[in-house]
Amino acid sequence: MIDANTSLFGLIGNPVAHSLSPVMHNQAFAAAGCNAVYVALKVTDPGSALNGIRALNFKGLSVTLPHKVAVMEYLDEIDEAAKRIGAVNTIVNNNGKLSGFNTDCQGAIKALRVRTSIEGKSIAIIGAGGAARAIGFGLTTAGGHLTILNRTRTNGEQLAADLQADFLPLDECRPNRYDILINTTPIGMHPDTNATPLANNLLSKEMVVMDIVYNPLHTRLLKDAAARGCRIINGVDMFVFQGAHQFELWTGQKAPVGVMQNAVLQALQTKEI
């Protein structure tokens, strides 16, 4: 029931039509008994949008591409980890004071730790964008030995320098070099589901392979990795764990993680997005 007391939450980005955040968060609010609603908002001007959020008294926001960096200049305060990462994906509105956080980092680390340890492992991240930056920060903080693999040398070298990690051009990657491999690029995302960022002969059965793409649930990279005997981690785990932390920042309640995961999996199985 939506009424005058319903708390407003939302996602800002462009595009947003494909996002499963509304499905996940609305079912979480319902399960937790919160009088709240979450909507996806296509936004091209993040500064004006945040002024509107204050005026309309939205209680919190998720932030997706391309605004995770741009929103930072419009916030009143930014969590120390988000500052170090250089990106914000979560905003909390406390009586008009907007605070920024990054839950992508925690979501990825938790998803990995369900399946494997991180400390001392040799880890490769494919990509050099905002997600790579957030996940890379978490991995180095957790004691992993990180290499950035990227097609564009300039971007990859810059991120590696920022994270005090190694850099290697993606086309120079060799098999059996890494314990954990993480794809942070959109390669393989619906509708281009036959694409993969890495040839399957570079995968070995000793590796843990994670893809942050969650639509499709099993990307070409993960299918190839499973066929080679690797342990695989799909993008739903990170997506749900980062969303659960958002929920807790917004509400102060423990997130119904199982409900959130089931909502996403059901949507992926029943909706053509």
Q: How many CB atoms lie within 10 A of CB 48?
A: 11
Span 105-117, average pLDDT: 95
Q: How far apart are CA 210 and CA 190, in angstroms?
A: 17
Span 198-207, average pLDDT: 93
Answer whether residue 117 shows pLDDT above 50. yes
Where does the pLDDT of residue 108 fall: very low under 50, low under 70, confident under 90, or very high at 90 and above?
very high
Q: How far apart are CA 211 and CA 125, in angstroms?
A: 10
Reported residue count of the chain is 273
Determine the pLDDT at residue 212: 96
Where does the pLDDT of residue 271 fall: very low under 50, low under 70, confident under 90, or very high at 90 and above?
low
pLDDT digits (tens, 9 = 90+) for 121-161: 999 999 998 889 999 999 999 999 999 999 999 999 999 99
**CATH for 7-102+237-270?**
3.40.50.10860
> 12 and 46 in contact (C-beta within 8 Å)?
yes
Determine the pLDDT at residue 273: 44
Q: How many CB atoms lie within 10 A of CB 195?
A: 13
Span 25-52, average pLDDT: 97
Q: Greater confidence, 177 or 155?
A: 155
Determine the pLDDT at residue 135: 96
Determine the pLDDT at residue 188: 95
Mean pLDDT of the chain: 95
> 67 and 12 in contact (C-beta within 8 Å)?
yes
Q: Which residue has the tokens 């932030």?
A: 63
Per-position DSSP letters for 51-95, written without gaps between them: HHHHHHT--EEEE-TT-TTGGGGG-SEE-HHHHHHT---EEEEET
Where does the pLDDT of residue 252 fall: very low under 50, low under 70, confident under 90, or very high at 90 and above?
very high
- Catalytic residue numbers? 68
How wide is the angle at C-alpha 35 spanned by C-alphas 29 and 37, nearest 5°? 65
Determine the pLDDT at residue 18: 85
Span 169-174, average pLDDT: 92
Tell me phi and psi for residue 69, to 5 degrees.
Answer: -95, -45
Span 208-220, average pLDDT: 95
Determine the pLDDT at residue 270: 80
Q: How far apart are CA 7 and CA 135, in angstroms?
A: 30
Answer whether residue 72 shows pLDDT above 50. yes
Span 264-269, average pLDDT: 94
Nearest to 218 by CA among 144, 268, 271, 272: 268
How far is CA 31 from its chain centroid?
A: 23
Tell me if 7-102+237-270 shares its fold with 105-233: yes
What superfamily would CATH give domain 105-233?
NAD(P)-binding Rossmann-like Domain (3.40.50.720)
Q: Point out which residues pair with 93 in neighbouring strands.
A: 98
Structural domain boundaries in the chain:
7-102+237-270, 105-233
Residue at 84: amino acid letter? R
